[in-house]
Amino acid sequence: MRIVPFILFLFFTTSGIFSQTSADEQAIRQVVQTIADAWTAGSGEQFASVFAEQHDFVVWNGYYLKGLSQQQNAEGHQRLFEFVYKDTDHYATVDKIRFLREDLALIHVFAAVVPKGEGRPKDPDVLWSGVLEKKDGLWKILSFHNLDLEVFQDEQTRAQAPMPPEVMYASWYAAAGK
């Protein structure tokens, strides 16, 4: 009979943790959605709004921008949206959220950028990882690392992958089916 009070204790002491994690996961997913929406809208200011005031940013080609401010991020992305990535849409799928602490999370996101109106592509273009911190009730990106998914560049590279891309990037393909 001692097991019943123990189970009730576990239920009542952990239910708040699970609901907070669910709310935090939703807030983090919204950060990712804000990035995609800002990209598609061509808004550097909106894009940078989900980053901490000081953050690190690693571009897919290896550029490492240390201690970037929100303003620098906004200005840099605005230029990209006006020239290099003008008239493009951004698609993103959260693959994983791992809470390192209650106020610190690691995320992995599959994404793709395509000409406006083409729709979601079959395969993702990039994988980005972020470390996010919850401060004053808001999740902000402290560190962002973006990398190009070379596995899709040609059939030889695809064939040499350690496992099929459809397995490695399963959440991308599952989201496409929604």
pLDDT tens string 88-143: 999 999 999 999 999 999 999 999 999 999 999 999 999 999 999 999 999 999 99
CATH code, 19-176: 3.10.450.50
Q: Up-side HSE of residue 150: CA atoms within 13 Å toward CB?
A: 8
For 20-39, what is each residue's pLDDT tens digit?
Answer: 689 999 999 999 999 999 99
Give the range among 15-24, 51-60, 113-122 with minimum mean pLDDT. Answer: 15-24
Q: What is the pTM of this model?
A: 0.87
Residue 158 to residue 137: CA distance in whole angstroms = 42
The helix (H) or strand (E) run that includes residue 142 is: strand 138-148
| Domains in the chain: boundaries | 19-176
Q: What are phi and psi of 175, to 5 degrees?
A: -65, -30
Question: Sheet harboring 64-69: ordered strands across?
Answer: 64-69, 51-58, 138-148, 126-135, 104-115, 88-101
